Structure 1
Amino acid sequence: MAGLLSRSLLRAGTSIAPKQTYSTLRNSTRAQNLSQRIYAQASLKSYPRTFATSPQKQQYRTHTYDSGDGNPPVKIQIQEPPSFFKRSFHFIGRVLGGILIVTFGSVIALVIYEPDMIVATEVVRMAMHPEEGVSDERTLQIEAYIQNHPIVQKFRDDPSLIETRPHLDIPTLLRPNVLTAGVLTGPDRIAVPPLVFADGEGKKLYAILHVGEQLCGHPGVVHGGLLATLMDETLARCCFPALPNKIAMTANLDVNYRAPCKANQFVIIKAETTKVEGRKAWVSGRLESLPAPGADADGRLLVEASVLMIEPKNIGVLMREVPNKDSVSASPRAAVRGA
Structure 2
Amino acid sequence: MTIFRVFNRFFLLPTAGITFGFITFAKAWPDDSTALTLKDSALQTAKHNSRYEPLSPIIQRQDILDKISKLPLYEKLKKNPHLDHTVQSENIPTGHRPYHVGQGQLFGPKKLEIDPVIFRDEINKSLVVFYHLGSDLSNENNKIHKGILSLLLDEGLCYCGFPCLPNKRGVTAQLTLDFKKDIPSDTTVVLRAKVNQLKGRKCIINGTLEAIPRKNLFQYICGMEPKHGDIYVTAKCILVEPKWFKYFSWLPMF
Q: TM-score, normalised by structure 2?
A: 0.71
Whole-angstrom CA distance in 1 between matches of 2:187 and 2:205? 25
Q: Given residue 132 of structure 2, which amino acid in structure 1 is its aligned partner? A: H
The answer to whether the 8 A contact 1:250-1:309 is kept is: yes
In structure 2, the CA distance between the partners of 1:133 and 1:222, relative to structure 1 (3 Å rule), is closer
Does the aligned pair in 2 maintain the 1:123–1:186 contact within 8 Å? Answer: no
Which residue number corresponds to residue 268 of structure 1?
A: 190
Q: CA deviation at 1:314?
A: 2.6
Q: In the alignment, what sits opposite 2:246?
A: 316
Contact 1:130-1:143 within 8 A present in 2 as well: no
Give yes or no for contact 1:202–1:242 (8 Å, CA) kept in 2: no
CA contact (8 A) 2:176 2:235 kept: yes
CA offsets 1:158-188 (integer angstroms, 9 cap, x no match):
2221111133321112111111111000011
> Which residue is 1:300 aligned to?
230
Given the superposition, is the C-alpha separation of residues 242 and 124 from structure 1 closer, same or farther in structure 2, using an over 3 Å criterion?
farther
Pairing of 1:134-213 with structure 2 (within 5 A): 134=58, 139-201=61-123, 203-213=125-135
Query: For the Cα contact (< 8 Å) 1:213–1:263, is it kept in 2?
Result: yes
Q: TM-score, normalised by structure 1?
A: 0.54
- Give the whole-Å Cα distance in 2 for the aligned partners of 1:219 and 1:129: 37
Amino acid of the structure 2 residue aligned with 1:302: Y
Alpha carbons of structure 1 residues 123 and 232: separation in structure 2 relative to 1, 3 Å: farther
Structure 2 counterpart SS, 1:303? strand
Whether contact under 8 Å (1:202, 1:241) holds in the other structure is: no
Higher helix share: 1
Amino acid at match of 1:314: W
Aligned residues: 204
Greater alpha carbon shift after TM alignment, 178-187 vs 157-166: 157-166
Over 3 Å counting, the alpha-carbon distance change for 1:125 and 1:249 in structure 2 is farther
Q: Percent of counterpart pairs with the same letter? A: 28
Aligned to 1:34: none
Q: Larger relative CO (CA 8 A, sep 6+): 1 or 2?
A: 2
Alpha-carbon RMSD across the aligned residues, in angstroms, is: 3.0
The offset of 1:237, in angstroms, is: 0.8
CA drift at 1:290: 1.1
Q: Do 1:255 and 1:305's aligned partners in 2 also have CA atoms closer than 8 Å?
A: yes
Gaps of 5+ in 2: 1-35, 46-51
Residues 59 and 108 in structure 2, CA contact (< 8 A), matched pair in contact too: no
Distance 2:244 2:140 in 1: 43
Confirm or deny: 8 A CA contact 1:231 1:285 kept in the other structure: yes
Query: What amino acid sits opposite 2:58 in the alignment?
Result: V
SS of residue paired to 2:151? helix
Supply the distance in 1 between the matched residues of 2:172 and 2:90 (Cα, whole angstroms).
22
Contact in 1 for aligned 2:116/2:130 (Cα 8 Å)? yes
Residues 1-339 of structure 1: pairs in structure 2 closer than 5 A: 132-134=56-58, 139-201=61-123, 203-292=125-214, 296-297=225-226, 298-320=228-250
Assess, with a 3 A threshold, how the Cα gap between structure 1 residues 202 and 264 changes in structure 2: closer, same or farther: same
Unaligned ranges ≥5, structure 1: 1-116, 323-337
Alignment check: 8 A CA contact 2:143 2:182 kept: yes
